[in-house]
Amino acid sequence: MGKVVKYAIGEQDFKSLREMNFVYIDKTAFIEKIIEGSKYYFLARPRCFGKSLFLSTLRYFFEGERQLFKGLYIDSADWDWETYPVLRIDLNTNRFSEQGLLESVLNNLFREWEEKYEVNYIDKDLSQRFRNIIKAAHRKTGKQVVILVDEYDKPLVGNLNKTENFDHYRDQLASLYSNFKSSAEHIRLVFLTGVSRFSKLSVFSDLNNLADITFSNEFADICGITENEMLDNLQIGINKLAEYLETTYDGALRVLKENYDGYRFAERGSDIYNPWSLLNAMDESRIGNYWNWSGKPTFVIQTLKRLNVDLEKTLDCYCSIDDIIGLDLLDPNPIALLYQTGYITIKYYNKILDLYRLGLPNREVKQGFFNELLPYYQKSKSFQSKSIVRDIIRYFTFGQPQEVMKALQTYFAGIDYSLRIENENNFHNAFFLLIDLIGLNTKAESHTSDGRIDIEVMTDDFIYIIELKYDHSAQEALKQIEDKRYARKYQSDSHKIFLIGATFSSKTRCIEDWIIKELQ
């Protein structure tokens, strides 16, 4: 019987994970960096990236449960393994859809701590109660307090489109977190995590020595799974996936990389795999859009449409650190919003210009983002829009260019009239964005010795060379492909090649005509 490997799908408690022998990617080297560094830390990462598990790991480390760390990096560190009082506030347990819910969550926690550390309940003010608990925990144990806040911004993220609730929770959190400075003498460590790094909120206005490690090179790999970590820990799962996909080990690695890799969180950070999707793929031995299935980006999509965002420029752009480091509720920057929620990521850093290039990380995010985006831009119903996309993918895959163009014609006919395609460049962008976001292997304006190919699409068996014209004939488009000999670079390729000249009409705002030529 082969070795049974257990993957901790949704398990965020470090103790349970270790005691039940789940696969654990050792991140404890970062604990050593933390205890040797600052007293106050903040880390932002997208949802389902392992923030809660890391906080749980910190909890058991400071509670002195050394047996849980046997065989891990931190077990060999120079540490006294004494027990510290740990106060963990988990705000990921509620949607905070209305006022009063934060008080309820904190009341339950504070009552437990007040009893444990013998605090007389004399004040209804949550901030004052928290301050009393911190002092009492230090007094009773003789050890400074460790405070861990999981998803510090959950009440804010849940109310981005509800200004009154947002302001209410912002003020409550600012008052609560002000204790980190006023109670500094009683505190050993504060570590906060969240999805977003909000600007202009004053939530941390009193904490000017907070070490924000969100963009730190030193902590770039603290969450998520690097390629080396995957190869060291997930070989059995990769082999099983390769068997299911009827491919080689290296073939399975390529599929995993294409679907789940591509995140980067610092100038010199490693490429990071989405841990939620990767572990689910290992557990089920199949490729699925696991991160997409775990949550819908409703607010993100609504904001993009409300601001009439140029997606082609936003999903592949250069920007400064200031463009992505903060998120302003009153004037949301689409780049910051997409970056902080995990829909675009750092692809490259230009040291000379001090600019980051951002882009979609992988196929899973492309497909999920597009599937959620499409209904907002299509006049047809959601299920009809997605059916069109599935048809386009199928027709490309099975070498049916005539059906591809018919489906594309239907797609463009369904675009909301408010989204204007007013010139040839916008048409090219819209066309490319559609093909790219649905996850096909696509190149735009690929250079040849004679010119630039508008769109290339490659599947396992077919290559499509597409020239797009705006208010010109399809014959002109096809003639350009032939005259410029765009297919020459594929003359020794085994793929079947289709040349497609297509035209878009500014009057009908739709694909009007096309001509297809198959190369033998």
The answer on 509 and 428 residing in a single domain is yes
For residue 385, give every residue at least 6 positions away whose Cβ sits within 8 Å of its Cβ, in sequence order, or none. 374, 375, 378, 414
Residue of 515, 449, 444 lying closest to 486 (CA atoms): 449
The answer on 158 and 279 residing in a single domain is no
pLDDT tens digits, the chain, 520 residues: what are they? Answer: 456 799 989 899 999 999 999 999 999 999 999 999 989 999 999 999 999 999 999 999 999 999 999 999 999 988 999 999 999 999 988 888 888 899 999 999 999 999 999 998 776 789 999 999 999 999 999 999 999 999 998 888 878 778 888 889 988 998 999 999 899 999 999 999 998 877 655 566 666 678 999 999 999 999 999 999 999 999 999 999 999 999 999 999 999 999 999 999 999 888 999 999 999 999 999 999 999 899 888 788 888 877 877 777 788 899 999 888 877 766 778 999 999 999 999 999 999 999 999 999 999 998 888 777 766 655 555 556 667 878 988 999 999 999 999 998 888 777 655 555 555 555 666 676 677 777 777 776 554 445 566 788 899 899 999 998 888 899 999 999 999 888 888 878 889 999 999 998 878 778 899 999 998 6
The answer on 348 and 272 residing in a single domain is no
Residue of 67, 90, 229 lying closest to 147 (CA atoms): 90
Q: Which two tokens stand for residue 299?
A: 């607010």
Q: What is the CATH number of the domain that holds 23?
A: 3.40.50
Residue 1 inside a domain? The answer is no
The answer on 136 and 18 residing in a single domain is yes
Domain count, the chain: 4
The answer on 473 and 391 residing in a single domain is yes
Last residue of a domain, one of 189, 212, 235: 212
Residue 376 inside a domain? The answer is no
The answer on 18 and 130 residing in a single domain is yes
Residue of 307, 404, 318 lying closest to 355 (CA atoms): 318
What residues does 327 pair with on adjacent strands?
A: 198
Q: Which two tokens stand for residue 416?
A: 């909301």
Residue 370 inside a domain? The answer is no
The answer on 441 and 318 residing in a single domain is no
- pTM comes to 0.83
The answer on 264 and 164 residing in a single domain is no
The answer on 481 and 355 residing in a single domain is no
Asked whether 286 and 241 are in contact (CB, 8 A), the reply is: yes
Q: Which two tokens stand for residue 175?
A: 């008052």
- Domain range spanning residue 458? 382-519
The answer on 337 and 277 residing in a single domain is no
The answer on 230 and 91 residing in a single domain is no
Q: Which two tokens stand for residue 38?
A: 């600052």
Residue 193 inside a domain? The answer is yes
Last residue of a domain, one of 190, 212, 234: 212
The answer on 359 and 426 residing in a single domain is no
